Amino acid sequence: MKNFLIALLFLLSFYQGSAQKMTTLTYFQNDTLKLDLDLFLPAKTSGKKLPLLLYVHGGGFSGGERQSGHSLCNYMAQNGYASATITYTLYAKGKKFSCDGVLSEKIKAFQYAVNDLWLATSFFIKNSEKYGIDTSKIFIAGSSAGAETVLHAAFWDFKTMNLYDNSLPAGFKYAGLVSGAGAIMDLNLITKTNVIPMFFFHGNGDKTVPYGTAPHHYCKTDASGWLMLFGSYSIYNHIVNLNESGTLYTFCGGGHEYSGYLFEKEHHTILNFLNDVLAGKKFQKHEIVPTGKRNELSTAYKFCD
């Protein structure tokens, strides 16, 4: 019995020592809006400033919740990163966001989410000493709508698209990004000057967010909500042509259900990418992942045959 109690106390002390600290913080508030985030920090630190990962959940800019990023953020904290999952403005809630939507409203949904991510970024830059953040090592990651958010946050012109009395340091760049089934409105936004290391994963049978280049939801050209998007495959090839670092996981035949797959089930792939970036490694890798599903949209991707 005595040995059992000793063993139990040891396990409890080990768990408490390795448990990560989670704190809910308000990163922005005005008369009409209050935005929170959940920050996970390593239980033990070396005293050095920490790299930071900011996670943006999916949900079509109309749903979802920041708690969906808890398992990823906790894992990152266990491995020496500060990590936060954010609440953001769900501008499309109650609005049409598919082919029968209004194009300007769809773009506003992107813009509000991007601005909230910029606000969260500013919060940590301003409070970097308090939370021990290395502001040169801020990464962003997101799934679906969250992936579209991080892509536009990284490459939209801040002065043009900023909605709030907010600022980021001149010349600020994210250290890298992870996009799960995301896309960008204009491939030309990504240039040799502003490109950063990127990690994409996407099903090439995605009927919601195109894997290659196609309209959002594959809308017909006369649709009121028609919006051309450049998906993971198109962006990856673009950054390879720029001779910059990128990784793409293609889930052959997979649909939009794979938009959160690595965030939910293979956290180590995200960690490996971030560690490689911080180590200064150069990489261009396309990983083919069989799913047993048939791609109904296209046979153009011969690597999935």
* Dist. CA 305–CA 291, nearest whole Å: 12
Instruction: Output the pLDDT for position 299.
Output: 64
Amino acid occupying residue 128: S
Give the H/E segment covering residue 24.
strand 21-29
Instruction: Output the pLDDT for position 301.
Output: 84
Instruction: Output the pLDDT for position 47.
Output: 80
Instruction: Output the pLDDT for position 21.
Output: 81
Q: Which two tokens stand for residue 160?
A: 């043009």
Q: What is the mean pLDDT of each run of 10 residues along the chain (305 residues)?
A: 47 45 95 96 88 98 97 97 98 95 96 98 97 97 98 97 93 97 98 98 96 96 97 98 98 96 97 98 97 80 82
pTM for the predicted model, two decimal places: 0.92
- Please, what are the domains in the chain? 20-304 (3.40.50.1820)
Give the H/E segment covering residue 247.
strand 246-252
Instruction: Output the pLDDT for position 6.
Output: 45
Instruction: Output the pLDDT for position 303.
Output: 86
Instruction: Output the pLDDT for position 84.
Output: 98
Instruction: Output the pLDDT for position 304.
Output: 86
